[in-house]
Structure 1
Amino acid sequence: MLFPLAAEAQRVPHVGYVYPAGGQQGTTFTVTLGGHSLEGATSAFFSGAGIRAVFVRHDRQVTPGEQKQLVEELAALREKRQKRGLTASQEKQASEIRRKLDGFGRRLANPALSEFVTLEVSVSPDAAPGQREIRLGTPVGLSNPLVFFVGQMPEFSKGDWKNIPKGRGSMDSQLSAVPNELRIAWPVTVNGQIQPGGVDRFRFAAKQGQRLAFIVKARELIPFIADASPGWVQMKLALLDAQGKDVAWTEENRLHADPMFAFHVPKDGEYQLQVQDSLYRGREDFVYRISIGELPLAASSLPGGRVETGVQTVTLPAVVNGCVARPGDRHAFRFEGRAGQRVVAEVVARRLDSPLDSMLVLTDAAGKRIASNDDFEDKGAGLNTHHADSYIFVTLPAGGAYVVHLSDTQRKGGPGHTYRLRISEPQPDFALRVAPSSVNVRAGASAPLTVYAVRRDGFDAPIALALKGAPKGFVLTGAEVPAGQDHVRFTLSAPPAPTTEPLTLQIEGRANGIVRTAVPADNVMQAFAYRHLVPAQELKVAVWGRAAPNAAARIVSAVPLKIPPGGAARVEVSVPAPPMAGEIGFSLNGAPDGITLKEFSGRTLVIEVDAAKIKPGLVGNLIVETFVQRAAADVPENKRRVPLGALPAIPFEIVKP
């Protein structure tokens, strides 16, 4: 796909769901993706090999003007049919008009899911099974990725459903007319969407002695939903026998919203699986996949281990795999330390899906508390909503014996309350996340990226970032995480020619002899407020448009800018003439509070620092977006900004006056 210079003012394409979210090897099936800003989408890209997609159509809400025109066209076709009949192509045209008016002639319930792209997807017989990613390609680049599975079992999918109101002025959903109960034959992967207040029912036959596993993927498909509380679909499964009696049910698997369970069939007969959201909600993006069959079911991947009550003596460094097996249990570990010795005690439990809500307390031999911790946030664990693992970093005040006490803060316990405890001297290290995972940049221009540094055990050195094995013409500017800081915004500059297909890039960080590859991620909102770095499989870059040779924007002034609080700095930039008429403008993107673009004249920018908000010592990069301001065609006095891309990052340092 070529990404042309077109529709530059569009917003970044965003996909909220894909349905069904996978398919069987060796099959072809229809897939719907819902989101916004998908106009012009004509292709889809999958991670891995063996999957291809053919564009079918793009749908969106019909505007009043379009609706009027469609009604007139339909009336003309009806009149023509009455007089002399319609050709096959005209009948098809009339059918398409009726489909648009019936399905998209009313305001859609959710603006975030206001456009739909239909694809025909083919999975080759030798496509590797497992998790993939799908992204849509549009004239202005790539959408965000969504999870898509290649399966090995036969698939059964309910019909695609869109949350279209019943009528004008109504917010009640027009529920799809599907049978109350659908028959399936296992082994099978069932695909569905949960409608508001809906319960999906599937009937199947089973024989005595068979052991059936029911494995759900729902939150695994869409980890967080921005405009729904608590921020994901909470699946509930119930299994009924032929008499309608509950024989099994589950709402979660440990801390996963996605349940799974095994059922030992007690007798031959018919059984019904009921599927719903436990809070009785429903919308298009409440998508699920349920694998049903005589499948292996992992009980746990947690370390576990028996720990005796009382105080256990350990020698540093020590790693203990344990389990708080009974409510109220407390585990204690004694070690010898030196005065001034730095010691770390870290629990890994919730990050391994254990329900343990740990508490760590460090005392000396006399029982005097030296340090304690309940929860410690690990930004690298982007799928966790409660960072319940504990972490202590302490300098021992004196030589002698010390005791690490571990317990559950809620005084709970059980076979699943397993943990991994590390007690050691610090092991400084870091991990990196780079966002977004889909980067869209105009040829010859730049796009902003953010790398987040997860610093471990006191690691505070600056981290130099670089592209690894990138094609010629891609350049990072401002690519260093400053010492002690947990993130940096910088820019990726593109070559002057567009890409025919998205490219996969890698960014790695180096510091103190340590090399780490940045994991692609997306900064995703949960339930209107919270944000998480959700990992992705690939960092994809789409370059669109075309720039004149040697016409890339650049910073002419010396950098880093050195600005005192209360002061200002002038920055000279070189920007090529825009590909359209109009004056170039500039705006700061995501600058620290207190740093502003006071004014610009021609190619000179004036950056001002508020002394009340910014103190000496701050270092980072300024991201400056460029645009052309053009008059609207219908109302010339209304101006709209057409973005041209970002300048290369401008490093800065706040210095003492």
Structure 2
Amino acid sequence: MQEMQVLKVCLLLLCFFPANHASHCILADEPTVSYVFPAGGQRGTTVRFHVGGHYLHDRCRFQMEGSGVTTVSNLQRTDKTVWFEGPVIPLQESQQKEDYPVDHAGSVTIAADAETGIRRWRVSTSQGVTLSRPFVVGELPEIVEQEIDGDPVPVSVQLPVTINGRIFPREDIDIWTFTLQQGQAVTCTVLAAGLESPLDARIWVTGPDGRILQQSDDFHGTDPRIAFIAPVTGQFQVHLQDANFGGLQDYVYRLSLVSELQADGMYPLGGRRHSTVPLQLSSGQQLLTTKEFLIGGSERTRYQLPEHPLWAAVSDLPEVMEPENDGEAVAAATVELEQVANGRIRKAGETDRWQLSLAAQETVMLDVFAARLGSPLDSVLTVLDPAGKLIAESDDLPNGVTDSQLRFTASEAGIWTVCVADRFADRGGVQFGYRLMIRSAKSDAPGFSLDLPVDAVSLPRGGEAKLKITAVRTGQFQGAIELIPENLPAGVAVEGNLIKAGGNETTLILKASKDAAVSLAPVTIRGRELRDATDASAAASSEAPEPADSKANA
């Protein structure tokens, strides 16, 4: 029987309000949220913030998940919401009414030893619960923009610093200024899309003479980044605006400025769990240093490097490094099944070759991880038989992912060659790394994982709510999957909790009785293979351990 897979969702059981006629009922508007500002804070501090939303009433419940943070339990509506009119945009009469979010105040205390990274938060009322949004725990000193109306005014800051700002109103430009000595290095990093902000940030740096030194639009997705060395001593400025000249209350961002060329790449891109791995850290195409890191031993498949905004991939397979001679790849390297091959396309037009000894009729699965790990490599994966004939090729994965993946069966015993290259012959460099997972089909154990697109749902008393749950099957597993909700409030029943054999999805229907109590509950949905009625009964009452890597938080 397949081990249980786990989903978690926040369920709010709602009341309803009688209409004028006893035979009808109406529901009030569900709450929505657009932003939290500031969108993060430094460890060891208390941060006062505003949440902007609709239908939050005078006060609403507030939750923030994760360790190291303590928050208020309720947000209180503020007396005034900050508003700047900005440039007038002529609209048709039918479009002229705009409904803007209203601010509600709260606070969070962040422990000095809190782990840096994302915490998820949400609000709820008796009419509904919102989807979660991110709040960032950082390690640098932080400031919050003091917003003013009118033309942009440069604001002086001291490095290192994380600036919490927002582009508001439309066409707003924020300007941050600081003094540098000649030869001093600075890295400017914007986080906006990572905050689920609509801001498509663009930044540029000007020197003491007012000329643009560098500019950046997209780096990490649509979030920009600039690293530079001051050519002279004097005042430098970072300018930030929306690339589409937009701006509103929810166009929030975090701009981090540090006085160093901060690493934005590494090689290799990961390592084996519990092992110490020497990683080459780089900024752009410039190698900075090589440091040894102990790859974390938790069940996670990613590990954040201490003091660096970089994540290393983690595997439980033996690791092989591409042999290099003075930084140049050798002609070919030997690899075996059930290994991870670490390589990089160091020079434009380079092709890496991995030689693999296979038995006749051996089926092999190849998976290149590059773009999924932040590498600029747009991989092309090919397989050559012992005679050097091309027998398989893969370019991109579905949904625009530029990594490669293929499965093939060796027609004869011998030395087969796996080739990795960039799709474009004029690209390559120190950051064009990849991880090539080489697995035997025999190791692809049958199983499944579960996924759903939301992490919260509102259920009215006497009504129903629907959740679409998708199963991702592996290893040719085709069995039926039973879904077992846990911690459901009293008076709530479920239908559709079976994914049929060979199927990939179901719609789980939650139904509440008319007298069910209004409540907010974290619900766990577990899935397991259903073979017969005996299995179903055991699954419903068992307390199987929760696999840490099988959680799918939408």
TM-score relative to the length of structure 1: 0.59
369 and 262 in structure 1: CA distance in 2 versus 1, 3 angstrom threshold: closer
- Check the 8 A contact 1:41/1:136 in 2, yes or no: no
Q: Find the counterpart in structure 1 of residue 153 from structure 2.
A: 180
1:333/1:457 CA distance change after superposition, 3 Å = farther
Contact 1:481 1:487 in 2 (8 A): yes
Q: Secondary structure at the residue paired with 2:158?
A: coil
**1:219 and 1:301, CA in 2 relative to 1: closer, same or farther beyond 3 A?**
farther
In the TM superposition, residue 331 of structure 1 has moved relative to its aligned partner by 1.9
AA partner of residue 369 (structure 1): L
Q: Work out which of the residue numbers 124, 143, 150 in structure 2 matches 1:156.
A: 143
Counting only pairs closer than 5 Å after superposition, residues 232-381 of structure 1 correspond to structure 2 as: 233-253=199-219, 255-265=220-230, 268-294=233-259, 297-301=262-266, 303=268, 305-307=321-323, 308-377=329-398
Compute the displacement of 1:344 (Å).
Answer: 0.7
**Equivalent position SS for 1:351:** helix
Q: Shift in Å at residue 214 of structure 1?
A: 2.4
Distance 1:479 1:361 in 2: 42
Residue 33 in 1 paired to residue 49 in 2? no
Equivalent residues in 2 for 1:184-583, closer than 5 Å: 184-194=157-167, 195-207=169-181, 211-222=185-196, 233-253=199-219, 255-265=220-230, 268-294=233-259, 297-301=262-266, 303=268, 305-307=321-323, 308-377=329-398, 386-411=400-425, 412-426=427-441, 427-428=444-445, 429-443=447-461, 445-467=463-485, 476-493=494-511, 497-500=516-519, 502-511=520-529, 517-521=550-554
Give 1:134 shift. Answer: 2.4
Q: CA separation in 2, counterparts of 1:207 and 1:101?
A: 39
SS of 1:484's equivalent in the other structure is coil
Do the aligned partners of residues 243 and 41 (structure 1) sit closer, same or farther apart at CA in structure 2, a change above 3 Å counting? Answer: same
What stretches of structure 1 of length at least 5 have no aligned partner?
59-91, 162-175, 226-232, 378-384, 522-657
Match of 1:51 in 2: 71
Q: Give the CA deviation at 1:457.
A: 4.8
Q: Classify the secondary structure of the residue corresponding to 2:424.
A: coil
- In 1: Cα distance, 2:14 partner to 2:59 partner: 11
Mapped partners of 2:422, 2:183: distance in 1: 39
| Residue 260 to residue 391, structure 1, CA distance change in 2 (3 Å) | same
Whole-Å separation in 2 of the counterparts to 1:112 and 1:350: 43
Q: Secondary structure at the match of 2:250?
A: coil
Whether the aligned pair in 2 keeps the contact of 1:183 and 1:204 (CA below 8 Å) is yes
Deviation for aligned residue 1:484: 3.4
Aligned partners of 2:152 and 2:172 also within 8 Å: no
Does the 8 Å contact 2:121/2:135 carry over to 1? yes
Contact 1:335 1:401 in 2 (8 A): yes
1:508–1:517: 8 Å Cα contact kept in structure 2? Answer: no
Is the CA contact 1:450–1:489 (under 8 Å) kept in the aligned structure 2? yes
Count of aligned positions: 451
In the alignment, structure 1 residue 116 sits paired with structure 2 residue 101:
yes
- Name the SS for the 2:101 alignment partner: strand
Structure having greater relative contact order (Cα 8 Å, sep ≥ 6)? 2
Structure 2 residue ranges without an equivalent (≥5): 1-11, 18-24, 270-320, 324-328, 531-543
Q: Is 149-158 or 114-123 further displaced after alignment?
A: 149-158
Q: CA deviation at 1:152?
A: 4.9
Query: CA, structure 1 residues 297+463, in 2 after alignment: closer, same or farther (shift >3 Å)?
Result: farther
The one-character-per-residue Cα deviations of 1:318-356 (angstroms, maximum 9, x if unpaired) are 320110111221122232333433211111111101111
Structure number with higher strand proportion: 2
Contact 1:506 1:518 in 2 (8 A): no
Q: Matched residues in 2 for 1:16 and 1:149: separation?
A: 16
Offset, 1:201: 0.8
Q: C-alpha distance in 2, partners of 1:192/1:111?
A: 27
Amino acid at match of 1:408: D
Distance 1:241 1:54, change over 3 A: farther
Paired letter, 1:422: M
Distance 1:21 1:101, change over 3 A: closer
Aligned equivalents of 2:421 and 2:201: distance in 1? Answer: 30
Q: Distance in 2 between matches of 1:109 and 1:362?
A: 59
Q: CA deviation at 1:451?
A: 2.0
Against the structure 1 CA distance between its residues 336 and 259, is the aligned structure 2 distance closer, same or farther, given a 3 Å change threshold? Answer: same
Q: TM-score, normalised by structure 2?
A: 0.69
Q: Does the aligned pair in 2 maintain the 1:317–1:425 contact within 8 Å? A: yes
| Amino acid of the structure 2 residue aligned with 1:420 | R
